[in-house]
Structure 1
Amino acid sequence: MNGSTLDYLNVVAPYLADELISPRARAYLRTIARNLPCYPIGGLECRLSGEDDRVDLLAYVPRGPIEIPANAREHPVWKSLEEFGREWSDPDSLLSKKVGNLSLEFDLDREPSRILIPGIFLALDRESFFADDGWTKLLDRWPFDSLFPAIDPSLLESNLQRCIRELPRTAWIAHLGTLLSRPARSLRIVIKDIPPDDVPDYLVRIGWSDRERGTGELVSALSRWLDRVTLALDVGETIAPAIGLECRIETPPSQDSRWSEFLDYLVVRGICTPAKQKALLAWPGITRKTDRPDLWPESLRLGDLFAGPNALSFFYRNIYHLKITYQPARPLTAKAYLEFGHRWLDRRWLERATAIANSSPEEGTAIDPASYRQQVLQYYERFTPIILKNIGRTYQAGLLIDEADQRLFERTNVYCASRAGIRPGDRVLDAGCGVCGPSIDIARSIEGVTIDAITLSPLQARSARQFIEESGLSDRIRVHVGDFHELPFEGETFDRVIFLEAAGYSYAPDRLYREVYRVLRPGGWLYLKEPFIKEATLSTLEQKELAEFNRVYVCRAVRASEAVIAIAAAGFEEISSYNSSDVIGAVTARSAMFEEREGKRVLTEFGQYHYRNARCLPIVFGEITARKPFRDSSVT
């Protein structure tokens, strides 16, 4: 990609208020951005206290050959990065398998030097940390001697191994990095999935000292508003006295009052000014090409032309997280990590989503969540025994097109697991699990998979637990009763979340996919296999048959394009939508409507309620996959 990081920065800079960045810091930022290649995603670190006007720059580097600043090609740090990029690009390499993301950090506390020296941070793969010794092999390759010449490497490695050894069971090292531009060299580690209550004891076990014992109180206070608290440590010959608490709220400020409440708390504590609080909350948003054509990067013009008239080209601005730095006997400090980048979306999807959002209640889009939940619950409490009798443990209309296969339900479930990319050792959420027929088939077919399954129906949950126990899988499948819009799990818990003809029961898809995004780990995947409404305009008869379909099954079918819009709005990337009608059909499901009785073909108990002689039902089977970005701002 031609151009520089400054091209992207120019588009979002007008939304960076003077309260967050001084004229001097803004000038430094422009200087350094002008000398960097055009990385597709960037970030800014803004200090929130009144006296500190420093702003540092982050660059998220895509997998592949790493573009080097022209004046730094011979510098040893950049040469090492260039070599890293070549190996990282090789799909068979250790780096490719263990490193999900690379980010660079540039300090701007002084006028930038001619050659920019970055901090280097690797986002590591959680599965590798727990499943094999690949993570340890990666550590063995870290060039301690060259990166930390003034540190005894044996002490550094000893402290690092102790940090790993003393981790609580669920916690793991998610990021590894070093700030090469700073005089005090150490290894930064970022620990995820550490229970907040375990943080103080863990710090004691690794030899970190806090005579004031303020960490427990601070973590407890912060946790009231947060979806996740992540621990950042600097490891050298000792554990550095300053620790970072990365504070994450998954939903944006415009949709979640916790942001204002959390920032109010920081203002009261004196670590954020009211002016910076206001400026920070004003940062999130989007900028379209039509908003600022004068600032639009030349490097995007060809892409915009290629994408065509239906593509919406825009820059987005997010608050990724805030970090509180705690050091005994020192005042607390806080920084905000602001993210920006460019995307394209299909304008037709956006227009359709807008039309749906703006449609009147008479058109059937308004819904009371409590009332709808009760309808769905009553449906499954009534029909689960009948479904088990007439269909079985997998309640899906769309099955692989092969009527002769006696194991068709199992084959379909295993097919979906494969399409979802479920791997040995993954932790999976089966959202809308029914009686866990699919979960049982998946657990049997893929070694080491653990599954949390959630259903709204207590009757389904009781049946599911019985079937799981009979299958000998009680240690690998856990059943929960609840609404999948309000999942009872910590953030970043799952490697995969699957909906097997269940997302159509969502009364608020935007909220549903934000919740799924919250519980997925970075790099984790969402998979849907659903009956979608066909994309074309519906005839009057098609609309009538669709309304009857939704009424009978108490569902709310949507178009695949509408689901994609909601999924993209939640923050997912790498979204793919497939029409699966060539491999998945409803022939077998329709056969469950009838049975032979006394030589006659009659409706089953299930068919007596569900059968409709539909002539043009506008339903097609489709699949959607989407990935939660495997990036996380972890630098200081």
Structure 2
Amino acid sequence: MADYLKVVTSYLPSELLSPNSSLHLQSLAQILPPFSSAMLEFRLGADQSQTDMSVFFTPRILNLSETLLNHGVWQALQDFCQNCVEPTSLEHRYVKKIALEFDLDEQQSQVPIPSIFLFWNEGNVNDAQALIEILFRLPNYLVSSKLQSNLQLCVNSLPQGAKVEHIGAMLSRPGEVLRLIVGGIPPQQFSDYLMQIGWCESTETISTLVSNLYGLVDEIRFLSFDIGDVIYPRVGLEFFLKKQPEHEPRWELFLDRLIEMGLCTPAKKNALLAWSGISQKADNPELWPQNLSRGDRLLSSRASSVFWRTINHIKIVYQTDSPLEAKGYLTFSHQWIDARTLTTSC
């Protein structure tokens, strides 16, 4: 994974990726196998340099190093992936995609422990009992009876048309926290839904965020929150624009509003807006991964390897007695594309 990162991190100024975070990122990437799709998470406020990384993959047996496989959590994760590819398994029926998230600044041990996020196959996302059964199969994860009842309540309280998009088992953090990411709830109903599931905090800030920011984006696609034996006070709103900044002036307007709110710095805004684009071998031939160069030679003029760089979304996190926090999510993904298409687009 380290070779893939070198290609794209050259597009990240130090305002976003601090030297310390860059070292943590490269250390992590050295022991991970290559993943064709990944996402970097940045805090957008002043004096906030923490960076996290997620990798995405369709269920498969991972090509893990001996260092990782010797750790119980990673071996159990490999077993879970094995179950996901078994055609008759519950995991195969429900799990469409897996993401592993790494909190880089919190990783102290030689073997990083990820959080695991599961994305669901269509039509299976609101079966709370099936979700509970899958939770029991996750590595190093305890499922209390209270967590089960809270999950059931959260699913049963969803309005018509809403669904659990994905869940996250926070293995790298203490406790039995489960993150729920739900979609399809009209933003004006966020507060009502939170009250229905027993969220005990004031919803005034949530309503104000929706009122002030909804008109600047295409959608507030997801509402995220944490559950366990209780419904925790942290809530995230995920803001999406369908087009990238070069084709969508509202990105700049939205980020300017965050600057006015004290949630983003001008330097980080500029870094975000400059991120999207295509990376190809001709741009940095000395950085291009050897495995992709071999593939380019095999495919000859039929296809070329590229990395797409995109802004995925912005999340605003609300937690009682803490300042609002904005995070930017930048994705990069490797693809083989028709060389003629690449020439035309450039």
Q: What interval of TM-score do these two structures reach, taking the shorter chain for normalisation? A: over 0.9
Distance 2:170 2:71 in 1: 16
| 2:133 alignment partner AA | D
Q: Give the aligned partner of residue 436 of structure 1.
A: none
In the TM superposition, what is the alpha-carbon distance from 1:137 to its structure 2 partner? 2.2
Distance 1:159 1:126 in 2: 23
Q: Does 1:288 align with 2:280?
A: yes
Give the counterpart of 2:132 among 139, 161, 170.
139
Give the counterpart of 2:5 among 1, 4, 9.
9
What are the residue-to-residue correspondences of 1:34-49 with 2, within 5 Å?
34-49=30-45
The alpha-carbon distance between structure 1 residues 28 and 145, as it changes in their structure 2 partners (threshold 3 A), is closer
Moved more, 292-301 or 310-319: 310-319
Q: Give the aligned partner of residue 197 of structure 1.
A: 188
The alpha-carbon distance between structure 1 residues 145 and 296, as it changes in their structure 2 partners (threshold 3 A), is closer
- Assess if the C-alpha contact under 8 Å between 1:124 and 1:175 holds in 2: yes
Q: Give the aligned partner of residue 168 of structure 1.
A: 159
Give the counterpart of 2:271 among 276, 279, 285.
279
- Assess if the C-alpha contact under 8 Å between 1:123 and 1:175 holds in 2: yes
Q: Give the aligned partner of residue 327 of structure 1.
A: 319
TM-score (norm 2): 0.94
Q: Give the aligned partner of residue 109 of structure 2.
A: 113
Distance 2:141 2:302 in 1: 52
The alpha-carbon distance between structure 1 residues 353 and 283, as it changes in their structure 2 partners (threshold 3 A), is closer
The alpha-carbon distance between structure 1 residues 136 and 126, as it changes in their structure 2 partners (threshold 3 A), is farther
| 1:31 alignment partner AA | S
Larger-gyration structure (1/2): 1
Which digits, 9 at most, give the CA deviation of each residue in 1:18-43, with x for residues without a partner? Answer: 10011111111111111111111111
Distance 1:283 1:329 in 2: 33
The unaligned stretches of length 5 or more in structure 2 are: none
Give the counterpart of 1:216 among 204, 207, 216.
207
RMSD (Å) for aligned C-alpha atoms? 1.9
| 1:345 alignment partner AA | I
In the TM superposition, what is the alpha-carbon distance from 1:253 to its structure 2 partner? 0.8
In the TM superposition, what is the alpha-carbon distance from 1:200 to its structure 2 partner? 0.3
- Assess if the C-alpha contact under 8 Å between 2:95 and 2:119 holds in 1: yes
- Assess if the C-alpha contact under 8 Å between 2:39 and 2:53 holds in 1: yes
Which digits, 9 at most, give the CA deviation of each residue in 1:490-520, with x for residues without a partner? Answer: xxxxxxxxxxxxxxxxxxxxxxxxxxxxxxx
Distance 2:303 2:138 in 1: 50
Which digits, 9 at most, give the CA deviation of each residue in 1:236-267, with x for residues without a partner? Answer: 11111111111111110110011011101100
The alpha-carbon distance between structure 1 residues 90 and 145, as it changes in their structure 2 partners (threshold 3 A), is closer
Give the counterpart of 1:95 among 80, 91, 97.
91
| 1:119 alignment partner AA | S
The alpha-carbon distance between structure 1 residues 62 and 211, as it changes in their structure 2 partners (threshold 3 A), is closer
Give the counterpart of 2:65 among 64, 69, 76.
69
Matched residue SS, 1:15: coil
The unaligned stretches of length 5 or more in structure 1 are: 355-636
In the TM superposition, what is the alpha-carbon distance from 1:310 to its structure 2 partner? 3.4
| 2:215 alignment partner AA | R
- Assess if the C-alpha contact under 8 Å between 1:253 and 1:281 holds in 2: yes
Distance 2:183 2:252 in 1: 24
- Assess if the C-alpha contact under 8 Å between 1:208 and 1:241 holds in 2: yes
- Assess if the C-alpha contact under 8 Å between 1:148 and 1:186 holds in 2: no
In the TM superposition, what is the alpha-carbon distance from 1:111 to its structure 2 partner? 5.5
| 2:12 alignment partner AA | L
Matched residue SS, 1:251: coil
Q: Give the aligned partner of residue 384 of structure 1.
A: none
Give the counterpart of 1:82 among 48, 68, 78.
78
What are the residue-to-residue correspondences of 1:340-489 with 2, within 5 Å?
340-351=332-343
Which is bigger in relative contact order (C-alpha 8 A, separation at least 6)?
2
Which digits, 9 at most, give the CA deviation of each residue in 1:199-248, with x for residues without a partner? Answer: 00000111102236221121222211222221001011111111111111
In the TM superposition, what is the alpha-carbon distance from 1:17 to its structure 2 partner? 1.0
| 1:231 alignment partner AA | L
- Assess if the C-alpha contact under 8 Å between 1:231 and 1:244 holds in 2: yes
| 1:166 alignment partner AA | S
Q: Give the aligned partner of residue 244 of structure 1.
A: 236
Give the counterpart of 1:26 among 12, 22, 27.
22
Q: Give the aligned partner of residue 331 of structure 2.
A: 339
Identity between Structure 1 and Structure 2 (%):
39
Corresponding pairs, count: 345
